[in-house]
Structure 1
Amino acid sequence: MNGYYPVVLQLRGQKIVVIGGGGVAERKVIGLLEAGADDVRIVSPEVTERLAGLAEEGKLRIELRGYKESDASGAWLLFAASGNREVNAAVVADGKRCGALVNAADLHDEGDFLAPSVIRRGDLLLSVTTAGASPSLAAAIKKELEAQYGESYIEAVDRLRRLRTLVMNSEIDRVAKQAILKLAALEAAEAAKSDASAADSGEKVEGSDHEWLNSLLRRIGITGGLHNEGNS
């Protein structure tokens, strides 16, 4: 057992410090920005062209210098990605002393968390890691997931979120709500897989959200539906 527990973190408003400015640091930073991080700081004597460009766009801050112990102070997440094992070890030790959660690019066993391979499809987030045992296997599985869960899942998950809001704000009883949301999830997943499977399913996910809800109600045996007051 590797002792890791998977979580999904809310990064907005949190101070995140990345020590390093090379390719590894760039990959970490891109993932952080894609996740909505809005207070990312990089400390490194040199940075990649892409990181420099992101700083010019105001998406992060860069301090072009070597690492200092004080850089770990106040960080919520701290990434040791300098490419130098001695520096990374110092970052890990300082981060733990300051109460930061630390990710170490080349010292997996000494850090507090791993940054898995991630696939984003709107609000759908898929991740995979081998806890450092085989990054190549993680990459291969990620490639399979990217092919299996395409861009169509962006709209599917977005629509399911809207439908959930509509259902939870209705006067439908709890058992019926659960049945509706389960059926909707299955239907949206089938529709996302391919247009053909959606057409063959007998009930296509089409029309307004309100119309979809009424269709779902009929299929679980509730007649009459919900009155549409102009909002879907």
Structure 2
Amino acid sequence: MKYYPLFLKLAGKKCLVVGGGQVAARKIASLLEAEAQVRVVSPQVCEEIRLAAQEGRLELEMRGYRPGDLRGMRLVIAATDDPAVQEAVFSEAEALGIPCNVVDKPEYCSFIVPSVVKSGDLTIAISTSGASPALARRLREELEGSFGPEWGRFLELMRRWRREILSRGLPASEREAIFKKLAYSPIPQWLAEGREDKVAEFIAPLGLSLRE
């Protein structure tokens, strides 16, 4: 089966997680990081989820799933071992047109959750289209060694530099040449080595600086 890759904007959107174990807790953590409004439905929950509810970071209902729980949701994840609940959640999601992921049940998924490498706002998603989650984890671990915190810092600078360059009213070809020069530069390596002097020297002819 082929999947269409995309990144969802979930900030402020209601998302439902059915299940309360450690797998559910990991899914919840990712949703909270995306600033989603998370609702959890489960008769039992692990300590991590209970604490998050006490802190007001999510809404918790200590009960089993009921038809109708998906109304008003933007996305649903079912992290439960109950086959009947898995099927029921997916069926309701399909009827309502809500993206659904049932953990470890690709036949009940309208989307899959990739392995992710993050460095600041840099996000690299890895998917094997459900063929081998273990291989996706291996690739993530290998990439984590290649994209350290210097890449997050580089992206912060690129965001600011892009705004500045766009404000100059340059011809499109000239803008693209500058963007390419920056993107293909050794700046991440210099940042990793603490050589901000090299970065400053490189960007000075472009009229850019490291500081606001």
Query: TM-score, with normalisation over the residues of structure 2?
Result: 0.91
After TM superposition, which residue ranges in structure 1, 4 or more long, deviate above 4 angstroms?
Answer: none
What corresponds to 2:12 in structure 1? 13
Counterpart pick for 1:45 among 23, 43, 46: 43
How many residues end up aligned between the 2 structures?
210
Segments of structure 2 that go 5 or more residues without pairing to the other structure are none
What fraction of aligned residue pairs are identical, expressed as a percent? 36
Cα distance in 1 for residues equivalent to 2:188 and 2:52: 35
Contact 1:18 1:78 in 2 (8 A): yes
CA contact (8 A) 1:79 1:104 kept: yes
Equivalent residue letter for 2:151:
Y
Q: Secondary structure of 1:30's partner?
A: helix
Amino acid at match of 2:198: K
Could you tell me which residue of structure 1 aligns to residue 3 of structure 2?
4
| Root mean square deviation, CA, Å | 2.2
Structure 1 or 2, whichever has the larger Rg, is 1
Question: 1:93-140, CA deviations, whole angstroms, 9 ceiling, x for partnerless residues?
Answer: 011112211111132123110011112111100111212211111111
Contact in 2 for aligned 1:95/1:102 (Cα 8 Å): yes
Where does residue 206 of structure 1 map in the other structure? Answer: 200
Aligned twin of 1:61: 59
- What displacement does 1:75 show? 1.2
Alignment partner, residue 129 of structure 2: 131
Question: 5 Å matches for 1:85-164?
Answer: 85-164=83-162
Structure 2 CA distance, aligned partners of 1:89 and 1:205? 54
Distance in 2 (alpha carbons) for counterparts of 1:152 and 1:190: 8
TM-score by length of 1: 0.83
Cα-to-partner distance string for 1:10-59 (whole Å, 9 max, x where unaligned): 0012110000011111111111112222x110000111111111112221
CA contact (8 A) 2:12 2:35 kept: no
In structure 2, what residue type is equivalent to 1:30?
Answer: A
Q: How does 1:210-221 map to 2 (within 5 A)?
A: 212=203, 214-216=204-206
**Amino acid paired to 2:122:** L
Alpha-carbon contact 2:78-2:102 (below 8 Å) kept: yes
Provide the residue aligned with 1:169 in structure 2. 167
Residue 204 of structure 1 aligns to a residue whose secondary structure is helix
Partner of 2:181: 183
User: Which letter maps to 2:103?
Assistant: A
